[in-house]
Amino acid sequence: MNPGRGGLRAAIDAGRFVVTAEIGPPRGADPDAIAAKAELLRGWVDAANVTDNQGAHVRLTSLAGSLLAAQAGVEPVMQLTCRDRNRIALQSELIAAGALGVPNVLLLTGDHPVYGDHPDAKAVFDLDSLQLVWTARTLRERGRLLSGRTVEPRPQWLIGAVENPFAPPLRFRAARLGKKVAAGAEFVQTQFVFDVGVFQRWMGEVRDLGLPERCAVIAGVGPIRSLRACEFMRHKVPGIHVPDEVVRRLRGVPADRVAAEGQAICVETVRRLRETAGVAGVHVMAFGHERGVPEILYDAGLGEPVHVSDPAVSRAR
């Protein structure tokens, strides 16, 4: 499995500014839905996350979506959450990803079922994200399951984790990332960055711990396309911090200009993050608006389209 550009591992190893994005799998059994989204991203990103029942809503599995994304020419990052599986199923899924050639895994706790379309579903959470990262590292480097039994051949994916620089108490966030790096995380994608100042202070603490030399820090970004979306993110999505300055900018333009202003803010954020020491790249999250990702990257100086009139048709940066 070697689709698309050089791939995430190669980009990190080369010290090039990394670009990743997200592909949300469909609710139905439609493989073309993944291919259509991958087509918009191919040539613009080093890899794309395939989410794992994002928001605790039932969708096509991340593993199946990863295979479909690869077939469409985009290197996948298979997300795997602790919410839906015990340690047996989690390890089985990791081995399956290795056997099928999935090159990257992103390991996270997952949203609680109460936020999704089956609020009465039983949450598993047999392991947490830190334990799952350690489990994956042990499986890859020692070829051992948590039971102690050996696995041969060992899977060889790149191990990723997530972090939220904005979750209180802020003074513990860099140290929490340090624990994930110690457990085996080789890259980390952060929550949306709308407050660059707070993020940069967190990055200062991350640099003081020497973490960027051991783990690629990829900052999460994305456009806010409506005032309704802004209010939803501020009040309904745990862990997202939208500062008052951003809200004022979005409210200060006509209704038909909100989406453009939100995209402009995203582009400005990417440019500032490129100048922030220790930031290895950006992770662009544009749920339901993957078509806008190439334009954001182009405006931020991270890509060049073949036809400016059709930014979805592109070539590599």
Which pair of structure tokens corresponds to residue 239? Answer: 């862990």
Q: What's the DSSP call for residue 60?
A: S
Per-residue model confidence (pLDDT) at position 236: 80
Q: What percent of the chain has pLDDT over 70?
A: 94
pLDDT in tens, 243-253: 999 999 999 99
pLDDT in tens, 147-157: 999 999 999 99
Q: How far apart, in Å, are the Cα atoms of 107 and each of 50, 75, 80, 127, 178?
A: 12, 17, 5, 11, 15
pLDDT in tens, 247-301: 999 999 999 999 999 999 999 999 999 999 999 999 999 988 889 999 999 999 9
Specify the CATH number of the domain 8-223+279-289. 3.20.20.220
Q: How far apart, in Å, are the Cα atoms of 51 and each of 29, 46, 48, 194, 230?
A: 15, 16, 9, 22, 22
CA of residue 87 relative to chain centroid, distance? 23
Q: How far apart, in Å, are the Cα atoms of 202 and each of 59, 199, 233, 239, 251?
A: 34, 5, 21, 15, 28
Question: Collapsing DSSP states into helix, strand and coil, what is residue 27?
Answer: coil
Measured CA to CA, the distance from residue 22 to residue 226 in angstroms comes to 20
pTM: 0.92
Q: Give 239's pLDDT tier (boundaries 50, 70, 90).
A: confident
